[in-house]
Homo-oligomer: A and B are copies of this chain.
């Protein structure tokens, strides 16, 4: 069953209930619950759902007037929060301001490609300006932000959007990095000219001086539903790099990699303090998994996770099929936004809108990562040697699982 999505969101965040009884058009789960529950019950539900200590909401940050004006003028969601950490005796706080941007594309997919890309640049400019003027230190954009998410089509013409890591999209962002002294993570479709025009799904890490620190290529490629990405690019060959920036150690787990706990683990073992998960995913398939996987990764690995999903519905010129019995269709479904940040102490910000472009800002003291490691000790109780042995055996074709069968079991009756 396809869910209908109403792109019109009422100002008060309350849902409109259409005649067929379905709920659509509400802004976010947080606002839906907040507008529907008494403050006392909302507080307790928040404690259970998003790990806020005794239900106390995260502090909101008072973002300055320039960003607010940009937000209302250009109609994007703007929310800002602050995570708590303990004051330490021997280390100063290491407070970093992180920004996540989610957005829909700007022009129909039938427009000339260069126009489509430039229109996204134009659309993003005020949102990036809002981040910059708000003092964001590390900004992350969504997966393949410089193009429609055309991989559902299996048409190869969309590869034209691919750029080298020092291409036009990187140049566009380098200006902002320099202007605002801001690290920017730019997930693009990459064209690797030095390796025979290989196409990759890549995050470019731009330093706060505008320099390119490095790149990371998506490690796990989906083959599910309309996610026909394996038609376009292969599993990344860059390992699990952690980038040591002016504002902390960061890594990027691109989209479908969030379904793989080992991928999250590897960034943690390499020392990441914030892992960004730029994504493009649709409601019917993944929405109930969306907050679970990110928050679990933050808890299990004692780091912050910034989750970003694009917004809106993209209609392609030629219908395509998924091979799952559905009739042909020209869109991938509704990208439900809902970008949010998870902390190692199991707390979590509210999510951005399910419908609108948005900028989520959050202050976090990176000291919290080590505080949680010291408290819970997952790294010390993890027994990695046991799992190293297991995986070494598992990857061999003749692996025998450890199974203890009931000796009284009559296998014929199974």
Mask: chain A, 260-301; 1 = CB below 8 Å from B; 0 = not? 111011100111000000000000000111001101100110
The residues of B that contact A262 with a CB separation of less than 8 Å are 261-262, 265, 382-384, 387
Closest partner residue, chain B, to A35 (CB atom): B41
| Complex: A407 Cα to B377 Cα, angstroms | 32
A347 within 8 A of B: yes
A219 within 8 A of B: yes
Interchain CB contact under 8 A, A406 and B44 = no
| Complex: A245 Cα to B401 Cα, angstroms | 15
Interchain CB contact under 8 A, A288 and B47 = yes
Interchain CB contact under 8 A, B299 and A289 = yes
Mask: chain A, 388-413; 1 = CB below 8 Å from B; 0 = not? 10111011000001111111110001
| Complex: A249 Cα to B401 Cα, angstroms | 12
A21 within 8 A of B: yes
Min distance, Cβ A151 to any Cβ of chain B, angstroms:
15
| Complex: A104 Cα to B68 Cα, angstroms | 52
Closest partner residue, chain B, to A223 (CB atom): B377
Known: A244-B406, A387-B391. A3 touches B54 (CB 8 A): yes
- The interface centre, meaning the residue of A44, A249, A381, A395 with most chain B CB atoms within 10 A of its CB, is A381
Interchain CB contact under 8 A, A207 and B406 = yes
The residues of B that contact A403 with a CB separation of less than 8 Å are 241-244, 249, 270-271
A330 within 8 A of B: no
The residues of B that contact A249 with a CB separation of less than 8 Å are 403
Interchain CB contact under 8 A, B390 and A300 = no
| Complex: A265 Cα to B385 Cα, angstroms | 14
- The interface centre, meaning the residue of A240, A241, A376 with most chain B CB atoms within 10 A of its CB, is A376
Among A26-34, A117-125, A190-198, the stretch that binds chain B is: A26-34
The residues of B that contact A211 with a CB separation of less than 8 Å are 406-408
Min distance, Cβ A218 to any Cβ of chain B, angstroms:
11
Min distance, Cβ A111 to any Cβ of chain B, angstroms:
33
Interchain CB contact under 8 A, A261 and B270 = no
Counting every copy of the chain, the complex holds 2
Q: How large is the interface on A (under 10, 10 to 19, 20 to 34, 35 or more residues)?
A: 35 or more
Known: A23-B41, A394-B384. A408 touches B378 (CB 8 A): no
A60 within 8 A of B: no
A90 within 8 A of B: no
Min distance, Cβ A250 to any Cβ of chain B, angstroms:
10
Mask: chain A, 187-214; 1 = CB below 8 Å from B; 0 = not? 0000000000000000001011101011
A36 within 8 A of B: yes
The residues of B that contact A271 with a CB separation of less than 8 Å are 401, 403
| Complex: A204 Cα to B210 Cα, angstroms | 60
Min distance, Cβ A387 to any Cβ of chain B, angstroms:
4
Mask: chain A, 215-251; 1 = CB below 8 Å from B; 0 = not? 0000111111000000000010001111111100100
Q: Can you report 13 A-B residue pairs in the complex whose CB atoms are below 8 A from each other? A: A22-B40, A47-B288, A211-B407, A241-B404, A243-B406, A260-B378, A262-B383, A266-B390, A271-B403, A288-B346, A293-B300, A384-B395, A388-B388
Contacts beyond the supplied A36-B36, A246-B406: 18 A-B pairs with Cβ under 8 Å: A23-B43, A52-B288, A207-B406, A213-B406, A224-B375, A224-B377, A242-B401, A243-B406, A246-B413, A246-B414, A260-B381, A261-B262, A261-B296, A262-B262, A262-B265, A262-B387, A296-B296, A388-B392
